Amino acid sequence: MSDPVIRLLLADDQALVRGALAALLNLERDLEVVAEVGSGDEVLPAVLEHRPDVALLDVEMPGMDGIAATALVRAKAPGTRVLIVTTFGRPGFLRRALQAGAHGFVVKDTPAAELADAVRKVHRGLRVVDPQLATDSLVAGESPLTPRETEVLRAARDGSTVAAISKRLFLSEGTVRNHLSAAIGKTGATTRAEAVLTAEGNGWL
């Protein structure tokens, strides 16, 4: 008796990448891509409509990112397991994804056979993590930023002024300056832009 087909959802904002992944996974006899979406905001509605066994999510997508989408899927559709498949193999992303409830985390250049095997393992309830990333994550440790410092630094990504950030986050300008100063110190940076780059490089934002 053959194994039941594992139903998959793919979420990636790059149509070519999404199409290539779908084609590769559909070649496997026990895997079937039942839905594809191009933004984080579309993930939960598609999961609720198609009820996939495993959702393969990118991290950086328009709207909601893959980590926030993971938390939402785990809360609203616990029957669907999540495997993060991303270009951005950053230790902070791995840690945050697992905290959000992802069952696996692999990078996009994983060979097709290994990716299919990762899907099967996640479907069985096992945890699958890229070994190099797991090592990097242990070495990098937790983000040193508080939730508020993270929020302020994230708001500073686009080069917004302190006044603009304070309006957006409903904080005083002095509070914003204090949080930015703390974030710059904790990331070992000398400027706000450098702090953003360091935090992004570690997957803390």
CATH number of the structural domain spanning residue 62: 3.40.50.2300
Residue 83 lies in a domain: yes
> Do 70 and 120 reside in the same domain of the chain?
yes
Decide which of 139, 162, 177 is a domain's last residue. Answer: 139
Pair (13, 85) in one structural domain: yes
Domain that holds residue 151: 147-201
Do 92 and 170 sit in the same domain of this protein? no
In a domain, 155, yes or no: yes
Examine the domain organization and report whether 157 and 110 are in the same domain.
no
Which CATH number belongs to the domain containing residue 167 in this structure?
A: 1.10.10.10
Whether 162 maps to a domain, the answer reads: yes
Task: State which of 139, 172, 189 marks the end of a domain.
Answer: 139
Residue 159 shares a structural domain with residue 124: no
Domain count, the chain: 2
The residue among 100, 96, 86 whose CA lies nearest residue 145 is 96
> In the chain, where does DSSP find H-type helix?
15-26, 43-50, 66-76, 91-100, 112-123, 131-140, 147-155, 162-169, 173-186, 192-201
Looking at the structure, tell me whether residues 73 and 169 fall in a common domain.
no
Q: Supply the pLDDT for residue 125.
A: 93
Query: Do residues 151 and 127 both lie within one domain?
Result: no
**DSSP state for residue 187 in the 8-state scheme:** T
pLDDT band at residue 1, thresholds of 50, 70 and 90?
A: very low
Comparing 147 with 143, the larger pLDDT belongs to: 147
pLDDT above 70: residue 137: no
Same domain, 15 and 55: yes
* Strand pairing report for 81-86 and 104-107: parallel
pLDDT of residue 52: 97
Give the least confident one: 40-49, 56-65, 74-83, 129-138: 129-138
Same domain? 81 vs 133: yes
Q: Which residues contact 144 (CB under 8 A, 6 or more apart)?
A: 186, 187
Last residue of a domain, one of 112, 139, 166: 139
Q: Is residue 1 part of a domain?
A: no
* pLDDT tens-digit series, residues 60-119: 899 899 999 999 999 999 999 999 998 877 777 888 898 899 999 998 888 889 999 999
95 with 122, same domain: the answer is yes
C-beta separation of 93 from 59 below 8 A:
yes
Residue 155 and residue 56 share a domain? no
Is 135's pLDDT higher than 70? no
pLDDT digit string (tens) for 144-196? 888 899 999 999 999 899 999 999 999 999 999 999 999 998 888 888 998 98
The CA distance from 13 to 64, in Å, is: 11
Look up the pTM and report it. Answer: 0.69
Are residues 153 and 132 both part of a single domain? no
